[in-house]
Amino acid sequence: MSTSTRKCRYCKGPVVGRKGKIFCSVECKSIYHYRLRAATFDTAIPIDKILHRNRSILLEIMGKNKSQKKVDKIEMDRKKFNYSYFTHSFTNSKGKVYYYLYDFAWMAFSDQEVLIIRKRSPAKDKPAFPTP
Ligand SMILES: [Zn+2]
């Protein structure tokens, strides 16, 4: 068994108690996590704005109910769509890459055309509450 004193991750003070404990107190743990979240929040805001804006552009082009639409790339360019930012990507069996923006995705259909698709979440297709 090690006799070395563990240091609190936040205040560097001694930590006593169970194995694996990394903070000296509930306060230190709470401040540490608060600051961690705040730092992430500040850094994420400008990128989140771009992602939200990109999704809004796709929503505007698609309208409320369409599930897919082919558009001229120039239309997306005109709306200042930022192709470099997306939430995740998927490559299909033919090697086509789908770039997601949350529940929407786009892929280069041709040099001038982009195919936009909407992925409906299964939860949204069901009623929120079961009807009697
Ligand atoms: Zn501490």
User: How far is the centre of ligand 1, averaged over its atoms, from the C-alpha of 66 (Å)?
Assistant: 54
Which domain does 76 fall in, by range? 22-125
Task: Decide if 86 is inside a domain.
Answer: yes
> Domain for residue 4, yes or no?
no
* pLDDT for position 122: 47
Q: Looking at the domain assignment, is residue 44 inside a domain?
A: yes
Q: Give the total number of structural domains in the chain.
A: 1
Distance 50 CA to ligand 1 centre (A): 37
Residues of the chain whose pLDDT is less than 50?
A: 1, 122-123, 125-128, 131
Q: What is the pLDDT of residue 120?
A: 74
Residue 65 is given by DSSP the state T
How far out from the chain centre does Cα 76 lie?
21
37 CA from centroid of ligand 1 (Å) = 18
Domain contains 5:
no
Q: 2 lies in a domain?
A: no
Cα 1 to ligand 1 centre (Å): 23
Question: Does some domain include residue 8?
Answer: no
pLDDT at res. 31: 98
Residue 36 included in any domain: yes
- Cα distance between residue 91 and residue 10, in whole Å: 42
What pLDDT score does 26 carry?
A: 96
Query: 58 in a domain, yes or no?
Result: yes
Taking the CA atoms of residue 70, residue 74, residue 75 and residue 80 in that order, the dihedral angle to the nearest 10 degrees is 130
Q: 5 alpha carbon to ligand 1 midpoint, in Å? A: 13
